[in-house]
Structure 1
Amino acid sequence: MTRKARAARPAEAAPPPAPVAGPQLSRLEVRHLATIRDLTLDFTGGFTVFTGETGAGKSIIVDALGLLLGARSNTDLIRSGEEHLLVTGFWDEEAASRKVNAQGRSTARLDGEVVSVRELQDWAQQRLTIHWQHSAVSLLSPANQRALLDKQLPGDLTAYATAYRAWQDARTRLETLRASQRERARQLDLLQFQADEIAEVNPQAGEEEPLQADLGRLANLDTIAQGAAGALNLITDGDENAVGFLAEAVRSLNAGARYDPTTAALQNELRAALESIQAVAGELRGVADDNAPDPEELARVEARLGALGKLRTKYGPTLEDVIDFHAQVEQELAALTRDEQDAGTLDHEVERLHGDVLSVGRSLDAARIGQAGPLAAQLVAIIRELGMPHARLEFRLHPAPEPTAHGLSDVTLHFTANPGEDLAPLADVASGGELSRVMLAISTVLGADTPAVVFDEVDAGIGGSAAIAVAEQLRRLARTRQVFVVTHLAQIAARADHHYLVTKRIEDGRTVSAVERLDDAQRLDEIARMLSGNTSDAARSHARELLQGSAGVPST
């Protein structure tokens, strides 16, 4: 069901916009841009127009300012034969510039310091707004119509965006879990097998080296026993042995030791050596007697080493690598197990978050409806002043099938300029001239929030009394803003505070555009040309009447 917020018929015109503080554009320097060779323009506040013959290049000024606002650089804009173009704007004591070379590289500066184009754009957007020729057409987009209504609702939009993002993240995770359920089960089986295989062996860091030593000992017990027996035979068990010879040597020193301290000391050393050899002989006897082969122990060590080697082959190359791999598998198992649990519980979380989105979305819709009526009334008040006295306009909310990134509802702007006609979508019923005037009303109410505003061909598709109404609205806007307008209508030009003429001429076989600020006499001639295509006495008389009904009367 469509929800409407209708515009009440205002009793009188909306009040003029509040002043916007900030620096105004005081000078513009342009070098090698399209047909401009070298141009310097000085500006003051108020209402400034640029006029000229069709094809004279009036919009080049707008293109130059657009480069300072971060518009995409195009090498086609560089004057033929030149290596680069340069645009510099001065706002009181501040300066911004953009240089584009023939290779497409762009250099931005703020007060002489190199900055990114994005930084230049952010800086310039606080000082200047441009409404291009296609800006009115952009009103046909439902997204742009919604943005008009949402401009004053940043808090509601942020709350909704947060809730929507949480819901979408949960939905995406649930869909991912469901889509990967079969793969997750396969992966769980594999990881569980690997974890069980390693856990069954339970490898310990550093255990292989002592096991290898045990294996060498167990495999050579006969050799060890035979060696010990041979050593015993030489030390104690043989007919002639080391213990016997040492004992005899000790006895032979008995007599001399009674009289010679040195001999006595040497005898003591021999006794100590004899005791050491006898101790070694006892240990050798244990080795010789206790090294009977143990097939079970040998098999146990071989099996353990075999199991460790198998793990190293599959998960190694080292035993430490196997242990690390096991830890990683356990972590992945835990994560996949959580995923399995999440898949079972995330449904409820998605439903809960969906409820949050609906709740916050309904609040956003209520805020939009609350904003729609007053905003539509402000716009209609200005639109009716612009030569459409019977215009009606309203914002309508249409519930979307499910929550979207921008809310629970689509927003469209409905409009009619004629009495007795039903409101219909703006895109279906508005002419080019009507779109331009709606755009101007929107710019007045919402879009002129910078110290300087530029309108490029805002007068497209209008004339007569509508043109006069548009001119008056632009002049009213210029009370609190610095307004620049590229126009082809004499009614608008006549109400400007400052008038610049854009012309083309041929110099040395090259086309050159020039921009000249007109004095009163020149302005009279230009407005006469705009009215009649010539500067005859009749045309000049008509132009003088138009100027008299505007801001002043030229003396010429």
Structure 2
Amino acid sequence: MLSQLHIENVAVIEKADLVLAGGLNVLTGETGAGKSILIDSINLALGERVSREIVRSGARAAHVAALFAAVPARVRTQVEALGFSCEEDGSLLISREITADGRGNCRIAGRPATVSILREIGRLLVNIHGQHDNQTLLSPENHIRYLDLYAENTTALRSYREIYQKLRRLRVQLKKLTMDDAEKARRLDLLQYQIDEIRQADLQPGEDEALEEERAKIINAEKITGSLQESLQALQGGEDMEGAEALTELAADVMQSVADLLPPLAPLVERLKNLRYELQDCAAELQNRLDDSDADPRRLNAVEERLDTIFRLRGKYGERVEDILAFAERAEQELAAISSSDEQADQLRREGKILAAQAKQLAANLTESRRKAAQKMQEKIRAELAFLEMPNVRFHVQISPLPRLEADGVDGVEFLFAANPGAPLRPLVKIASGGEISRVMLAIKNVLADVDDIDTLIFDEIDTGVSGRAAYKIGVKLKQVAAARQIVCITHLAQIAAQADRHILIEKTVETGKTFTRLHVLDFEGRKRELARIIGGAAITPLTLQNAAEMLEAAGIASTTTGLRIEE
């Protein structure tokens, strides 16, 4: 169960610690005091999506930490499977921080974690019913989710969806293979033409680059030869000039003649000799290049024609010769696939029949499971609604066959509802009032609580649209459910607040121009005054105080009961 919640810089909450107990925990306060901020804080701690606007104005970051006590063994096992571990006493601390610029970090048992893992663990620990869940109930496409949860179809549904997705992928493959004869003939002709055109060109990898180089060599042959000859003459000299080789040799000999007189010149002499050898190597390489520089102008036409062929293929199949060859390889593979498509299609059809039979069987199993569960579920919901002051209500889970396999099987599920005797069953979305929707949702949550083992349920204003005796019954029902698990309920109704095992007051104050939200765990007198405020509004009279005391005593809360009063 959720034992403690530490909050820092979340909206108007600068710093607060919420200490919860087992049983029914109720939170009340004036409108705008910050009750919804507590839900946002819990969502933040559990890894759910929140806006960075949640960070208190002027603060660097919002931070929430949640301590869970006596974590169930099932959850501990899943936490360990994700690479984390609970404390020896079975407790688990999770925390999350989000900065004003939207960045954040998460921790599980003191170790860094991703938001997705935090969310996965959080949903094993807490089930939050917010006001938007009532709208979810009004969407028929969500009704099958509630039924499957009650029927405990998670494993069966996963098995069905695996086969269904395989079947869908197979049908997509089959559709690609299946084409009419005329289209197949056109495609085969085109592929064969493309393959023949590329293969007849007899392209070689890198050929285009080699031809470009050869073309440039032929076109610039005269300039290249002249430059080579001029450079070689500069190194070797001619009839009327000394070359760099001879001059370097002369410089070395002259310096050698005085090296004995000036020993520091010896290294310079050695460098001049090495330079001469290097110039000789350069001259030899220039001569080799000059010997190979003969270019046949008649070769230019052949090179140009070959480049024109490659250029034409480039415009169709790729920028480089390698791209053109790769295109041809893919075309050959497609040609082979289409040529054998009839055989492949037959094989896929055989596999499809097997998968379809498996999917239909699994879907039929789901249908049977749903029909059995629907009978029990609707009876339990009717009993819950009768307790919640809707004795004449009729609630029916309608299961209709779909024309084909879908992601959830072959069943369409919709909740039908009739609040009054003699009224026909009609879709819930069309006839239920706000108060009726709230009670139906509470009934569904209570029924689903029988099949899940989440220890903490949080209800945010489950009492919307109800009052009087119906509100009292909701309070009693919440207390009954809280006997087996922890309930946290935000409410505006005294009838519900009176049933609480722990009552927490949320107050908003303004100090030095800043707004603060503070939490108080109330004792008997504090609870009596808060109930009186809810009953009578701003004016708390002896009569409202007496009514509040009677409500607490009727709920089994004795006047001797004390509670810890905390102000953060």
> TM-score, normalized by length of structure 1?
0.70
Residue 384 of structure 1, CA deviation: 1.1
Residue 424 of structure 1, CA deviation: 1.3
CA distance in 1 between counterparts of 2:133 and 2:473 reads: 20
Q: 1:509 is aligned with what amino acid?
A: G
Q: For the structure 1 residues 357 and 555, does the alpha-carbon distance in structure 2 shift closer, same or farther, using more than 3 Å as the test?
A: closer
Residue 225 of structure 2: aligned partner:
none
Give me the CA root mean square deviation. 3.3
Residue 435 of structure 1: aligned partner:
437
1:402 aligns with 2:404: yes
Q: For the structure 1 residues 522 and 338, does the alpha-carbon distance in structure 2 shift closer, same or farther, using more than 3 Å as the test?
A: same
Q: 2:532 is aligned with what amino acid?
A: A
1:474 aligns with 2:478: yes
Q: Aligned runs of 1:381-530 on 2, under 5 Å?
A: 381-447=383-449, 449-530=453-534
Q: 1:174 is aligned with what amino acid?
A: L
Match of 2:535 among 531, 535, 556: 531
Q: 1:26 is aligned with what amino acid?
A: S
Residue 49 of structure 1: aligned partner:
26
Q: Return 5+ residue gaps in structure 1 as ranges.
A: 1-23, 206-307
Contact 2:2–2:68 (8 Å) recurs in 1? yes
Contact 2:106–2:115 (8 Å) recurs in 1? yes
1:174 aligns with 2:151: no
1:39 aligns with 2:44: no
1:545 aligns with 2:550: yes
Residue 491 of structure 1, CA deviation: 0.5
CA distance in 2 between counterparts of 1:410 and 1:37 reads: 48
Residue 112 of structure 1: aligned partner:
110
Identity of aligned residues (%): 36
Moved more, 443-452 or 108-117: 443-452
CA distance in 2 between counterparts of 1:35 and 1:202 reads: 77
Q: Aligned runs of 1:270-419 on 2, under 5 Å?
A: 330-343=332-345, 353-354=355-356, 356-419=358-421
CA distance in 1 between counterparts of 2:109 and 2:204 reads: 68
CA distance in 1 between counterparts of 2:93 and 2:353 reads: 54
Q: For the structure 1 residues 324 and 512, does the alpha-carbon distance in structure 2 shift closer, same or farther, using more than 3 Å as the test?
A: closer
Give 3-state SS (helix, strand or coil) of 1:31's partner. Answer: strand
CA distance in 2 between counterparts of 1:491 and 1:508 reads: 36
Q: 1:58 is aligned with what amino acid?
A: K
Give 3-state SS (helix, strand or coil) of 1:446's partner. Answer: helix
Query: C-alpha offsets along residues 507-535 of structure 1, whole Å, 9 cap, x if unaligned?
Result: 11011111111111111000011111132
Contact 1:494–1:551 (8 Å) recurs in 2? no
Q: For the structure 1 residues 176 and 128, does the alpha-carbon distance in structure 2 shift closer, same or farther, using more than 3 Å as the test?
A: same
CA distance in 1 between counterparts of 2:103 and 2:322 reads: 54
Q: For the structure 1 residues 521 and 198, does the alpha-carbon distance in structure 2 shift closer, same or farther, using more than 3 Å as the test?
A: closer
Q: For the structure 1 residues 331 and 502, does the alpha-carbon distance in structure 2 shift closer, same or farther, using more than 3 Å as the test?
A: same
Residue 102 of structure 1, CA deviation: 0.8
Give 3-state SS (helix, strand or coil) of 2:369's partner. Answer: helix
Residue 161 of structure 2: aligned partner:
161
Query: C-alpha offsets along residues 197-233 of structure 1, whole Å, 9 cap, x if unaligned?
Result: 788999999xxxxxxxxxxxxxxxxxxxxxxxxxxxx
CA distance in 1 between counterparts of 2:4 and 2:518 reads: 16
CA distance in 1 between counterparts of 2:127 and 2:417 reads: 26
CA distance in 2 between counterparts of 1:511 and 1:182 reads: 76
1:136 aligns with 2:134: yes
CA distance in 2 between counterparts of 1:135 and 1:320 reads: 59
Give 3-state SS (helix, strand or coil) of 1:59's partner. Answer: helix
Residue 193 of structure 1, CA deviation: 4.2
Residue 33 of structure 1, CA deviation: 0.6
Query: C-alpha offsets along residues 292-326 of structure 1, whole Å, 9 cap, x if unaligned?
Result: xxxxxxxxxxxxxxxx9999996999999999887
CA distance in 1 between counterparts of 2:508 and 2:139 reads: 36
Contact 2:177–2:338 (8 Å) recurs in 1? no
Residue 406 of structure 1, CA deviation: 1.8
Q: For the structure 1 residues 520 and 204, does the alpha-carbon distance in structure 2 shift closer, same or farther, using more than 3 Å as the test?
A: closer
Residue 366 of structure 1, CA deviation: 2.2
Match of 1:63 among 40, 44, 52: 40
Q: For the structure 1 residues 58 and 175, does the alpha-carbon distance in structure 2 shift closer, same or farther, using more than 3 Å as the test?
A: same
CA distance in 2 between counterparts of 1:72 and 1:35 reads: 19
Q: For the structure 1 residues 312 and 474, does the alpha-carbon distance in structure 2 shift closer, same or farther, using more than 3 Å as the test?
A: same
Residue 176 of structure 1, CA deviation: 2.9
Contact 1:73–1:100 (8 Å) recurs in 2? no
Moved more, 340-349 or 532-541: 340-349
Number of aligned residues: 434
Contact 1:524–1:554 (8 Å) recurs in 2? no
Residue 79 of structure 1, CA deviation: 1.0
Moved more, 128-137 or 314-323: 314-323
Residue 408 of structure 1, CA deviation: 1.6
Contact 1:35–1:79 (8 Å) recurs in 2? yes
Look at both structures and tell me which one has the larger radius of gyration over its CA atoms. Answer: 1
Query: C-alpha offsets along residues 493-518 of structure 1, whole Å, 9 cap, x if unaligned?
Result: 00100001111111110111111111
Q: For the structure 1 residues 311 and 361, does the alpha-carbon distance in structure 2 shift closer, same or farther, using more than 3 Å as the test?
A: same
CA distance in 1 between counterparts of 2:201 and 2:509 reads: 93
Residue 332 of structure 1, CA deviation: 3.6
CA distance in 1 between counterparts of 2:322 and 2:487 reads: 75
Contact 2:43–2:50 (8 Å) recurs in 1? no
Q: For the structure 1 residues 365 and 309, does the alpha-carbon distance in structure 2 shift closer, same or farther, using more than 3 Å as the test?
A: same
Q: For the structure 1 residues 323 and 413, does the alpha-carbon distance in structure 2 shift closer, same or farther, using more than 3 Å as the test?
A: closer
> TM-score, normalized by length of structure 2?
0.69
Query: C-alpha offsets along residues 328-386 of structure 1, whole Å, 9 cap, x if unaligned?
Result: 65434322323354457756765665555444433322221111101111222212111
Match of 2:53 among 76, 79, 83: 76
Residue 130 of structure 1, CA deviation: 0.7
Residue 219 of structure 1: aligned partner:
none
Residue 85 of structure 1: aligned partner:
62
CA distance in 2 between counterparts of 1:323 and 1:194 reads: 11
Q: For the structure 1 residues 328 and 404, does the alpha-carbon distance in structure 2 shift closer, same or farther, using more than 3 Å as the test?
A: closer
Q: For the structure 1 residues 311 and 325, does the alpha-carbon distance in structure 2 shift closer, same or farther, using more than 3 Å as the test?
A: farther
Q: For the structure 1 residues 325 and 89, does the alpha-carbon distance in structure 2 shift closer, same or farther, using more than 3 Å as the test?
A: closer
Q: For the structure 1 residues 134 and 323, does the alpha-carbon distance in structure 2 shift closer, same or farther, using more than 3 Å as the test?
A: closer
Give 3-state SS (helix, strand or coil) of 2:124's partner. Answer: coil
